[in-house]
Amino acid sequence: MLRSSVASKKDYYEVLGVERTASEEELKKAYRKMALKFHPDRNPGDKAAEEQFKVVNEAYSVLADAEKRKSYDLFGHAGPAGGAGGFDFNQGGFSDIFGDIFEEFFGASAGGRARTRAQRGNDLRYNMTITFEEAYFGKEAKIRLRRPEACSACKGTGAKGGATKVCPTCGGAGQLRFQQGMFAVSRTCSQCRGEGRIISESCPQCKGERYIARDKTISVKIPPGVETGSRLRVMGEGEPGLNGGPTGDLYVVLTVEEHPQFSRDGDHILCQVPISFVKAILGGKVDAPTMKGPTAVKIPPGTADGKIFRLKGLGFANIRGYGIGDELVRIKVEIPSKITAKQRELLEEFAKISGESIDPDSGKLFEKVKNLFE
């Protein structure tokens, strides 16, 4: 009879839907999924689900125990079968997993533990607009924001003089116990929020709210190289935590204004510099604007419209410390809309020397030159 009973059992690895090489974490994850699926409180009145829930528990109780798993791998159900009937919820991660399952169902943890653990405060966001120059050079900014802070009169207790009394709803336990199916679980008391005590008399300054909104000026260092969308984290300047938890952080989100002369491409600065068509032909020098002042750029003879010159190291500093970008100067050859008679005469002479015919009826020479550069 023992052989037939053992032989009829389904493979534990198949029960949990894992490979035989599954890690401890993979077993735990698979068990939690199956336990949630077949839990009696999710399947009221379903005997098949209840039986499967027991099988899932049995499978995990064996595979989560290193010795039992080794025996099972060698001898199958005949190995650990003798000890698989009772489950030790303190081994193999049962207590942690069942805590997760109870939270899934009831919003409370297992074992009667109160959920009054410290909680981190919320983060705050502050939107800031800065100029192109400030993004390039960086700056020290002062921002003023309004945020809740612990009441100084009651030190964040909400009670006048710190006076509290035992919660009448939970009797000071911080939790209310309930019977859910075959399990006894606890829920956090809604009146005292798990603290076990309530305020006897509210603090007159914060009206029992524990916190008071106050204005605060905070210094924020904006490093060179930031751009629109950059987030600066100021640690510990968010909302206060609950039950002694740490304060949240402040995130300053930046928007960089456009510049009338420059634009940006990553860490590079782009600008356009106009030159005459004469300088484009003959060459020369031109002062290109940069964030650090004018810089001379040598224009070689025959420079075409749209030619780009690179000024090394005059772009933005990389915010992550990967060097400095360049400034890219794009040449724009300008053609005057009007010329004098003398200028026309010289251009026509230039055309004759160059062997270019001039047809007065088919357009001006000046227009041909203009079209050439455009």
Q: Which residue positions form the known binding site?
A: 151, 154, 167, 170, 189, 192, 203, 206
- The packing angle between helices 47-63 and 66-75, to 10°, is 100
Distance CA 132, CA 110 (A): 56
Tokens 């003959």 belong to 282
Name the binding residues for Zn(2+): 151, 154, 167, 170, 189, 192, 203, 206
The Cα–Cα gap between 217 and 231 comes to 19
Is 262 within 8 Å of 270 (Cβ atoms)? yes
Burial letters 269-292, b for 16+ CB under 10 A, else e: bbbbbebebebbeeebebebbbbe
> Strand order in 308-311's β-sheet?
263-265, 268-276, 327-334, 308-311
Query: What's the CA gap between 182 and 179, in Å, rounded?
Result: 7
In contact, 136 and 267? CB cutoff 8 Å: no
Radius of gyration of the chain (CA): 39
Place of tokens 């924020």: 220
Among 324, 314, 144, smallest CA distance to 223 is for 324
Three-state SS for 220? strand
Q: What is the C-alpha to C-alpha distance for residues 56 and 30, in angstroms, rounded to an integer?
A: 10
